[in-house]
Amino acid sequence: MVAFYSMGIMNYCSHDPGCALVKVDGSNFDFIFAEEGFLSRKKKSYQFPLRSMKYCLDYFGINLERLDVLTLDFMDHQRAYRTSNNYRLLAGDFIRSRLNIDPIKIKYASSHHFAHALTAYWPSGFDDAAVLVVDGLGSKQQTHSVFHMNNTGKTDLLFEQKGVGIGALYSLGTSSLGFDSGEEGKVMGLAPYGKDHEEFDVSLPDLTGDFCGFVTDYSRQMVRNPSPSLRFKIRFPETKNSVYEPYFARFAFNLQAETERALSHLAKEALISTGSKNLCFAGGVALNCVANNYLQHLDELKGGFFVQPASGDTGIPLGLALSGLELSGIELSSLNSEKFRSRLRNPFSSDKSPLFNLYKDNLEQFVSSNNIKTRKFSACDIAEKITEGNVIALYSEGIEFGPRALGHRSFLADARTEQMKSILNQKIKHREPYRPFAPIVLVEDFEKYFISKVHEHPFMLQAPLCNDFARKTIPAVCHIDGSARVQTISKSGGKARQIIEEFKKITGISATVNTSFNDNDEPIVFTKLDALNAFLNCNADILILEDDVIDRKELTEIESLKVNLNILIDEFRNNYFETAIKELTKITTSSSSKEFYEFLYFNANLTRYYREERMQIRLIDFMFARDKLKLLYIDAYHADQLVKLAILTGNSFDDLVGRYSIINDDYQAAKIMKCPSDNLLYNFSAYSANTFLLGEGNQLSNFNSFYKISDKIINLDLSKVKNLDNFAHLSSLESITESYEHRLDKNIDQLFSQIGLSRQ
């Protein structure tokens, strides 16, 4: 039988780009994955995953032509070009448009959330499960979805919500605290510091959503996707340290508490509706380990609970690759064996030393020419070093799937002293003190330290409570609320397991600190080159490179080593990217940069028109064509917009609007509104367009909404337009250059030089 290859990548410039490639050969199943940031060394890069595509293809020894199916998700449209018209296209979109693949091989998953669901259910091992997906934004403005799945391949989508949801609210709250996109974990760490400051609730917004069945309505708190914004105002932190103030800590506490309330409500509804004992969870919100621990202990959860380790968008490519199999006639239920499901459950790459053959000789020459001394790995020696206060950088076996370090790309340290947190922050992480460090513990000793309904936590996805013994013996990993984001390690745990076993023999303690092996603002190290580079740039004491050990004390002229290693690394990375361009795209050295300029300008203008001018024209058409005797429901925001439109068009407000009623723009509006009527209600339009709410006798479909689900909210504020004569040229060159993979220090000419385009 000929092997079948299914690849998955996201269909737009994602904050967590990556690639997964699945191989099915008869009853044999294997897959490989890589995040683009692993190879480019940029977190939240918004790059097109070209490097990771090459990596996955090379792992199986095939080229792009040999691929059987490439599966994409989508935002608003099931198409590769402009899957959403709301977002200007970036350099990565240009590269995607030149991908050298037969279009007939491109397929589309039914939704972003369905891809998440596949990654949550099939690794779980459950015969039957309720599957909950919660994130910030999915296909057609999804915020959460509920599935019922079983091992026969039967999948029922029970509900999906669009527009407003707890994931989007959490992200907006994260930004309002001064944190960057993707830093929701900081809010989770800060939250316990606000527990005892309820006196600030009177000056903070009410975050309580309105729940009914699977609906969790946050319309009172936020404006929906794809124009997400908070409806309330809170103080903005003047400095990074301002978040320590009780006002901000209490806001974080309330946001976390509301998240736990929303997730527990959805989980209960999912379990009751499906009749299943088991729950699977994925989506970016599933990385909230404090909330996960809350879910684990729900009375309604009578069976198992599985959270996908790569529950954020890093896991989407695998879900897309699995979807591609089914779209091609290969049912996942036909692969339903423990071998198949356990392979999916293994959170580590099967590539033990990524890309090593490409840089092996150069690395060995670098080590030799710089007289870097190495010794053979000894778990006993390393454990002894940890007891002496040394910080260990461990690079061993395949890289973790998902954002959490699980003992293959980890810093290990002694958790027995409270001071180790500040030592790690001084030497390595430079993190805020309110962010806890995680423990890694021998699985058989879990109960000695932690309190939980379950004793196996292999993926660091819950935060059980520390018992008195843990607080006394390993205080460095006990957070202020008495919890710990614990990872249990089994006998198959490799070198990390061996080290902790030896540490236990010496100290009687079977847990250490475990935090991800990466330099500040970098992804987890991928190759040995990355590991050595990160080690040189931080102040860890010992580096373990598989079977070799390097002691910082034995290194000389470290600054010179950094410079020379960076030269080697830059050459390697540039060559890899250029090779990927040549192998996977139609871009050649004879291609003209003019194509790139025109692509970006064309699409930037289309996006601006779609979001702004188009909406303004549609509003004019809507208002001047509608029956003025028909009641128009608006909220205060749109009343203000219509006042502006009346002035701009030379009309009175009454003549323009006719009969109207001002109401709140939330999901509860359905109880007030009468049919037939028109409405200019942005949040409500997502509710009225939801087919899951349009049951028999429901009049939602009779409401004539101005807004479509993919529309941005209308904005007639023209105060920012300073030069009307230059209105057609608002898409400036400066805004275009930012599109190079979100790197402000790269201009277009440098991009052409890097990928081999001629400058014409």
Kindly state the tokens that stand for 35: 């995040």
Beta strands (DSSP E) in 103-260 are 106-108, 128-134, 142-150, 155-162, 210-212, 215-217, 222-223, 229-230
Beta strands (DSSP E) in 344-501 are 375-376, 392-395, 409-413, 438-442, 450-451, 465-466, 487-489
List of residues 6+ apart from 122 with CB closer than 8 A: 322, 332, 340, 341, 344
With both helix axes pointing from N to C terminus, report the angle between 528-537 and 356-369 in degrees, rounded to the nearest 10.
40
Tokens 């990385």 belong to 287
pTM, whole model, 2 decimals? Answer: 0.94
Confidence band of 698 (pLDDT split at 50, 70, 90)? low
Q: Coil, strand or helix: which one is 8?
A: strand
Q: Are 703 and 679 in contact (CB under 8 A)?
A: yes
The fold of 4-111+323-345 is Nucleotidyltransferase; domain 5 (3.30.420)
Sort residue 412 into left (φ over 0), alpha (ψ -120 to 50) or beta. beta
For residue 630, CA distances in Å to 645, 659, 676, 708, 749 come to 19, 6, 8, 20, 56
Would the pLDDT of 567 be above 90?
yes
Q: Are 47 and 361 in contact (CB under 8 A)?
A: no
Nearest partner of 568 among 361, 354, 353, judged by Cα: 361
In single-letter form, the type of residue at position 31 comes to F
Kindly state the tokens that stand for 501: 């076993």
Confidence band of 89 (pLDDT split at 50, 70, 90)? confident
pLDDT tens-place string over residues 516-539: 999 877 899 999 999 999 999 999
Confidence band of 743 (pLDDT split at 50, 70, 90)? very low
Sorted by where each begins, the domain ranges of the chain are 4-111+323-345, 124-307, 356-555
Q: Coil, strand or helix: which one is 518?
A: coil
Would the pLDDT of 699 be above 80?
no
pLDDT tens-place string over residues 670-693: 888 888 899 999 999 998 888 888
Rounded CA-CA distance 607/605 in Å is 5
Kindly state the tokens that stand for 381: 């020696």
The pLDDT score that the predictor gives to residue 737 is 36
Q: What H or E segment, with its residue span, contains residue 19? A: strand 18-25
Rounded CA-CA distance 346/603 in Å is 41
The pLDDT score that the predictor gives to residue 760 is 47
For residue 760, CA distances in Å to 593, 594, 595, 599, 687 come to 6, 6, 10, 15, 50
Kindly state the tokens that stand for 433: 């003190």
Pairing, β 69-72 against β 106-108: parallel
The pLDDT score that the predictor gives to residue 254 is 98
The pLDDT score that the predictor gives to residue 742 is 43
b/e per residue, 214-241, with b = 16+ CB within 10 A? bbbbbbbbbbbbbbbeebeeeeebeeee
Rounded CA-CA distance 265/288 in Å is 16
Q: Is CATH 3.90.870.20 what the domain over 356-555 is classified as, yes or no?
A: yes
Q: Are 723 and 730 in contact (CB under 8 A)?
A: no
The pLDDT score that the predictor gives to residue 558 is 94
pLDDT-above-90 percentage for the chain: 81
The pLDDT score that the predictor gives to residue 700 is 62
Q: Are 221 and 209 in contact (CB under 8 A)?
A: yes
The pLDDT score that the predictor gives to residue 721 is 46
Nearest partner of 529 among 397, 408, 363, judged by Cα: 363
Would the pLDDT of 722 be above 50?
no
**Average pLDDT for the chain:** 92
Would the pLDDT of 111 be above 70?
yes
pLDDT tens-place string over residues 239-284: 988 999 999 999 999 999 999 999 999 999 999 999 999 999 999 9
Nearest partner of 44 among 182, 186, 184, 188, judged by Cα: 182
pLDDT tens-place string over residues 413-438: 999 999 999 999 988 878 888 999 99
Nearest partner of 624 among 600, 648, 608, 604, judged by Cα: 648
Would the pLDDT of 40 be above 50?
yes
The pLDDT score that the predictor gives to residue 39 is 94
The pLDDT score that the predictor gives to residue 741 is 54
Confidence band of 749 (pLDDT split at 50, 70, 90)? low
The pLDDT score that the predictor gives to residue 133 is 98
- Calculate the dihedral angle through the C-alpha atoms of 478, 481, 485, 491, rounding to the nearest 10 degrees: 50
Q: Are 100 and 106 in contact (CB under 8 A)?
A: no
For residue 517, CA distances in Å to 273, 284, 356 come to 42, 22, 18
The fold of 124-307 is Nucleotidyltransferase; domain 5 (3.30.420)
End-to-end CA distance of the chain: 49
With both helix axes pointing from N to C terminus, report the angle between 289-296 and 246-274 in degrees, rounded to the nearest 10.
40
Rounded CA-CA distance 50/637 in Å is 43
Rounded CA-CA distance 347/306 in Å is 13
Would the pLDDT of 49 be above 90?
yes
Rounded CA-CA distance 270/131 in Å is 8
Rounded CA-CA distance 546/21 in Å is 26
Rounded CA-CA distance 131/247 in Å is 36
Kindly state the tokens that stand for 600: 């970006």
Q: Are 509 and 438 in contact (CB under 8 A)?
A: no
The pLDDT score that the predictor gives to residue 193 is 97
Nearest partner of 95 among 601, 731, 596, judged by Cα: 596
pLDDT tens-place string over residues 354-407: 999 999 999 999 999 999 999 999 999 999 999 999 999 999 999 999 999 999
Topology match between the domains 4-111+323-345 and 356-555: no
CA 202, 208, 210, 212 dihedral sign is negative
Q: 229 - beta bridge partners?
A: 223
Confidence band of 739 (pLDDT split at 50, 70, 90)? very low
Kindly state the tokens that stand for 461: 């996805």
